[in-house]
A and B are shown apart, each in its own frame.
Chain A
Amino acid sequence: SQKIEQNSEALNIQEGKTATLTCNYTNYSPAYLQWYRQDPGRGPVFLLLIRENEKEKRKERLKVTFDTTLKQSLFHITASQPADSATYLCALDRISSNTGKLIFGQGTTLQVKP
Chain B
Amino acid sequence: NAGVTQTPKFQVLKTGQSMTLQCAQDMNHEYMSWYRQDPGMGLRLIHYSVGAGITDQGEVPNGYNVSRSTTEDFPLRLLSAAPSQTSVYFCASSYSHKGSHEQYFGPGTRLTVT
- Are A43 and B101 within 8 A (Cβ)? no
- Are B90 and A99 within 8 A (Cβ)? no
Q: How far is the CB of B82 from chain A (nearest CB, A)?
A: 23
- Are B108 and A43 within 8 A (Cβ)? yes
Q: How far is the CB of A87 from chain B (nearest CB, A)?
A: 10
Given contacts A43-B90, A46-B102, contact A100 B96 (CB under 8 A): yes
Given contacts A44-B90, A51-B100, A96-B99, contact A102 B108 (CB under 8 A): no
Q: How far is the CB of B5 from chain A (nearest CB, A)?
A: 11
Residues of chain A lying within 8 A (CB to CB) of residue B50:
99-100
Within 8 A of B (CB), among A13-65: 31-32, 34, 36, 41-46, 49, 51
Given contacts A43-B105, A44-B43, A45-B105, contact A101 B58 (CB under 8 A): yes
- Are A102 and B42 within 8 A (Cβ)? no
Interchain CA distance A91-B42 in the complex, whole Å: 10
Residues of chain A lying within 8 A (CB to CB) of residue B96:
98, 100
Interchain CA distance A93-B58 in the complex, whole Å: 13
Interchain CA distance A23-B75 in the complex, whole Å: 32
Interchain CA distance A105-B43 in the complex, whole Å: 7
- Are A98 and B99 within 8 A (Cβ)? yes
Q: How far is the CB of B26 from chain A (nearest CB, A)?
A: 16
A1 at the binding interface (Cβ < 8 Å): no
A89 at the binding interface (Cβ < 8 Å): yes
Residues of chain B lying within 8 A (CB to CB) of residue A36:
103
Find A89's partner among B43, B45, B99, B104 (CB 8 Å cutoff). Answer: B43
- Are A106 and B107 within 8 A (Cβ)? no
B71 at the binding interface (Cβ < 8 Å): no
Name 17 extra pairs, CB < 8 A, besides A100-B31, A105-B42.
A43-B90, A43-B92, A43-B105, A44-B43, A44-B103, A45-B105, A49-B100, A89-B42, A91-B103, A93-B101, A96-B99, A98-B101, A99-B56, A100-B101, A102-B45, A106-B40, A107-B42
